Amino acid sequence: MDCTYKLKWLNGPLSGRELVLPVGELRIGGSDSDIALCLELDAQATLSIEDEAIRLACATPAWVEGQPWDPEQALPLGRVVDLAGQAFVLGRASDELSTPGVPARLARRSPARVSVWQWGALAGVCGLVLAMGLLAWQPILRVPVLDQDEWLATQLKDSQLAGLSVQWGNQGSLVLKGLCQSSTSVAGLRTKLRARGLLVYDESVCVDTLLDSVRSVLSLNGYRDAEVKSGARLDRVVIFGNIVADATWQRTSVQLQAIQALEGWRVVNDQALLFDDLLSRLTARQVLGGLSVRVSDKALRVSGQLDTQRLSTVSEVLDAFNRDGAPRLSAVFQNIPGMASAERYLPSSIVGIGGNVDSPYVQLANGMRLQQGSVLPSGYRIYALDRLSMALLKDQELISLPLTL
């Protein structure tokens, strides 16, 4: 799909990154967003992208170059848009977008309802009354001392805000920076600051937001079963999943490097380790025949139709596997027959089964003889073989084929 427009983020976790905008709606913030960013007051904003223009399809407050923006008007290109704290600049897909600073917000001006002369007369009368009052009553004025820096230092002692820093910006505004533990705690701080009449720009990145950004990148590149957890430091993560160093992962790594505040990651391919562990346990108890094992919905799913005795043994193996260390991928049994057939996986039909109990083989119509350890043209390896079934293994998938002539 051709895209007419794009945007460039100017602050927040995606600062500096560009996003092409296909025709349609783009939801920012909220629980069902397309872009997982935290907006002020947990708001959600929607951009309506058309061939002619980009508009706000929501009541979320916005500023353009610091001036309050009328949501009925199309958003301009090449100017800084502040959408509830998230700033960006729009342009056409072929434009080279700059990275300007985010201007301070200016308050809305209320329309004048009284003439300048009337305001002047009213001010004169008020001043006269005030002067007469002061002549009759002159108390000692006590000016309260309000130390904003001291109050901020007290707020930042919260352990959930460790790593967060506050800088004073233009016109008395505050800029939140750094890496913090909880976005909920930062949202609470923003609310307190605004309650004190302060203008706040949030450029901080919290751990939960950082993890969500990593998950989004992984999911967009096909790693939907991967899990992400915090590392030893707040700016590092650990990625668990079936990940190999191929072209897809190289592309994903480049995108991970662009995430603001993410300093590094460690990959743990525990899926292969857990799969091999479960296979070894089933093999040791001699119950692997007729079973299929695959990873699905973040679980190791074992399936096969078993009699009562074998079902009891398999259940013991799976219970012990799930109990030993509480693995990330639990083992789940489904007492259902497999749907795999030999014709689908073997290069030719089976014409004979020979050999002895310790070394059986399968003879195919094309002259190929298959034994345990043989590799098929499809890449599957014969993991186990007896006179009743053949187990084919490829990556983290074990398929049991019934042997029928």
- What does the pLDDT look like over 236-285, one tens digit per residue? 999 998 888 899 999 999 999 998 889 999 998 888 889 999 999 999 99
- Predicted local confidence at residue 1, as pLDDT: 55
Average confidence (pLDDT) over 12-16: 79
pLDDT of residue 125: 47
Is 158's pLDDT higher than 90? no
- In terms of CATH architecture, what is 149-268? 2-Layer Sandwich (3.30)
Q: Which residue has the higher pLDDT, 89 or 118?
A: 89
CATH 1.10.10.10 given to domain 5-92? no
Domain locations along the chain: 5-92, 149-268, 271-334, 342-402
pLDDT band at 35 (very low <50, low <70, confident <90, very high): confident
Spatial separation of the C-alpha atoms in residues 7 and 309, rounded to whole Å: 63
Put simply, whether the predicted model's pTM sits higher than 0.95 gets the answer no
Alpha-carbon span 8 to 18, nearest angstrom: 4
The yes-or-no verdict on residue 140 having pLDDT over 70 is no
In the chain, the amino acid numbered 175 is: V
- Tell me the per-residue pLDDT of 177-223, one tens digit each, with 9 for 90 and over: 888 888 888 888 888 888 877 788 888 888 888 999 999 999 889 88
Question: Buried b vs exposed e over 327-361: b needs ≥16 C-beta within 10 Å?
Answer: bebebebeeeebeeebeeebeeebeebeeeeeebb
Fold annotation for 271-334: Alpha-Beta Plaits (3.30.70)
Same fold, 149-268 and 342-402: no
- Give me the architecture of the 342-402 domain, per CATH: Roll (2.30)
